[in-house]
Amino acid sequence: MLPNIFHNGRQLSRIFQCTLQMYRQRSLTTGVNEIPLSKDHYNIKRGPFSVATDADIKHFESILPAGNQILLGLEETVGYNRDYFKYVRGLGAIVLKPRTSEEVSNIMRYCNNKRLAVSVFGGNTGVCGGSIPVFDEIILSMDLMNRVESIDKYSGILVCESGCVLGKLEEELAMEGMMMPLDLGAKNSCQIGGNVSTNAGGIRLLRYGSLHGSVLGLEVVLADGTIMDLMSNVKKDNTGYHLKHMFIGSEGTLGVITRVAIACPTATKTQNVLFLGLRDYSSVLRTFLECKACLGEILTSFELIDRDALECCIEHLRTSSPIGSYPFYVLIETTGSSKQHDAEKIRDYLEHVIGHGIVSDGVVTNEPSKITKLWQLRERIPEATYSNNFCLTFDLSLPLKNFYDIVPAMKDRVGHLVKLVCGFGHIGDSNIHLNIAGDELTPEIAELIDPFVYEFTRKLRGSISAEHGIGLLKPKYLKYSKSAESIDLMKQLKLVLDRNGILNPYKVLC
């Protein structure tokens, strides 16, 4: 059995468990007006949309007669015009907060008739600028659509409105002995509608799969105001095309998600975290294979951290590693229903991988405070790398055999010009985060990185955005993961569902 040791690190709050997708970091203390307007920064031309008039505002007031449902003027709407990371900025001077699907429908019908563009706003935790207006789009905030409609503990199904905060849903479900199938560091801010719209991944995906599997049904308001009832309370339903999938991950460009039915697992009772050191990447792969074979149904997360990523995180957090220095580390989490059963499985697993020389060193714990500290060594890597003057970050899906190749390849290209090139991420989901950080991002460095990373990913038939989406920041890179025919079909679908292009313009598709 491995020693259950741990060095005391500074207790720090959870911020984000996944890497934050930002092309260039901007300090979180940057003033709002210092953030360049997205339209200028990305050189975007305004679409052929109307400009809202006083008559339009009067009409919105008739649709939303209750108080606190409309905000007017850039001072009032400032929080809706920049992302959490202050990376994109828009000029939307009208925020509408509907309370019902009918109100959303009335707003959309009116905006469609008047050719007013609309940007849908959730918890503002997206990392690709997908929910922030670019020009003067009407901002549709889902904050007030936050009712839990039903929790069926027998079928394991939650039905709620799209503005429900993920963490609140987790609390409601816990009272019924259930849990959400997804978990994000941003769970106390992000909304389930935004999670579905962006097909959020998170740290439970290895165990419970993506939202394409968990979401049983949706209610969506289309651009012309049509309320599409795609709700379903059953897990098996083979009747025709499953239109819900079009809206999952469509980032608000095809419709406004207003209600969600989602399959939720029974809450787990036990939790263990293992933090292991490995001498090379082939040992990481062998450890993962053995992990799946030995831990099976209790495996929840399998995360990779390379030496440079851990050292950067440790320096930033002013903490230390619980084990010696190795080229690679993996963080494994298990959850289950029996403490004894899980402990036996973990013991057998560790004896096997250590006995065969696959794993060099490690610690294991089931104490909540130690679990939190171990997770921080993974969760806070992005924040640590962003403490440099610039940090480029990539969110790639790559086949596991070649998962880590991008890191040494990038070191060869720019390692002598920057301070840090590191790799970490979700081995269990084949999703690596590549971060490159330094003092100054010169054109010479930028040219060595882009489009190399995207071409590298395309050659391996990977994805240039594994879990963060396309939003405003990456439409021009979509072609590296989707064929011209696929993009053309996406554009046709967009036209069918949103003939006037008023829904979340400038996002996802160029």
Residues forming contacts to Zn ion in the complex (CB under 5 A) are 18-19
Between the CA atoms of 345, 350, 356 and 359, what dihedral angle is there, to the nearest 10 degrees? 140
Between CA 138 and CA 111 the distance in angstroms is 9
Distance of closest approach, residue 19 Cβ to Zn ion, in angstroms? 5
Nearer to Zn ion by Cβ, of 19 and 131: the residue is: 19
Distance of closest approach, residue 258 Cβ to Zn ion, in angstroms? 28
Nearer to Zn ion by Cβ, of 112 and 463: the residue is: 463
- Residue recorded with tokens 């999703």: 431
Distance of closest approach, residue 428 Cβ to Zn ion, in angstroms? 11
Strand pairing of 420-426 and 390-397?
Answer: unpaired
Between CA 395 and CA 467 the distance in angstroms is 7
Between CA 388 and CA 130 the distance in angstroms is 25
User: Are 356 and 296 a contacting pair, CB within 8 Å?
Assistant: no
Residue 401 per-residue DSSP state? G
Nearer to Zn ion by Cβ, of 18 and 262: the residue is: 18
Nearer to Zn ion by Cβ, of 431 and 504: the residue is: 431
At 60, list the tokens: 């919105």
Q: From 482, 479, 471, 468, select the one nearest 506 (Cα to Cα).
A: 471
Sheet containing 431-438: give its strands across. 361-365, 270-278, 328-336, 299-306, 420-426, 431-438, 390-397
Other CB atoms closer than 10 Å to residue 484's CB: what's the count? 8
Between CA 188 and CA 166 the distance in angstroms is 6
Nearer to Zn ion by Cβ, of 18 and 449: the residue is: 18
Distance of closest approach, residue 422 Cβ to Zn ion, in angstroms? 14
CB half-sphere exposure, 382, CA atoms < 13 A: 24
Backbone angles phi, psi at 10, to 5 degrees: -70, 130
Distance of closest approach, residue 503 Cβ to Zn ion, in angstroms? 27
Q: From 287, 289, 292, 265, select the one nearest 276 (Cα to Cα).
A: 287
Distance of closest approach, residue 184 Cβ to Zn ion, in angstroms? 9
Three-state DSSP class for residue 446: helix
At 363, list the tokens: 């610690």
Distance of closest approach, residue 426 Cβ to Zn ion, in angstroms? 6
Distance of closest approach, residue 181 Cβ to Zn ion, in angstroms? 16
Distance of closest approach, residue 443 Cβ to Zn ion, in angstroms? 29
Q: Which residues pair with 188 in a beta bridge?
A: none
Nearer to Zn ion by Cβ, of 220 and 434: the residue is: 434
Nearer to Zn ion by Cβ, of 18 and 317: the residue is: 18
At 144, list the tokens: 């007030």
Q: Which residues pair with 96 in a beta bridge?
A: 70, 140
Nearer to Zn ion by Cβ, of 77 and 300: the residue is: 300
First to last CA, the chain: 55
Sequence-distant (6+) residues with CB within 8 A of 175 are none
Distance of closest approach, residue 427 Cβ to Zn ion, in angstroms? 11
Sequence-distant (6+) residues with CB within 8 A of 58 are none
Nearer to Zn ion by Cβ, of 134 and 196: the residue is: 196
Nearer to Zn ion by Cβ, of 18 and 142: the residue is: 18
Distances (CA, A) of 279 to 198, 359, 408: 36, 8, 16
Q: Which residues pair with 276 in a beta bridge?
A: 330, 362
Distances (CA, A) of 168 to 84, 209, 210: 20, 21, 20
Distance of closest approach, residue 203 Cβ to Zn ion, in angstroms? 8
At 224, list the tokens: 């012309």
Distance of closest approach, residue 294 Cβ to Zn ion, in angstroms? 25
Give the nearest residue (CB) to Zn ion: 18
Nearer to Zn ion by Cβ, of 204 and 494: the residue is: 204
Nearer to Zn ion by Cβ, of 19 and 195: the residue is: 19
Nearer to Zn ion by Cβ, of 18 and 295: the residue is: 18
Distance of closest approach, residue 458 Cβ to Zn ion, in angstroms? 21
Residue 163 per-residue DSSP state? T
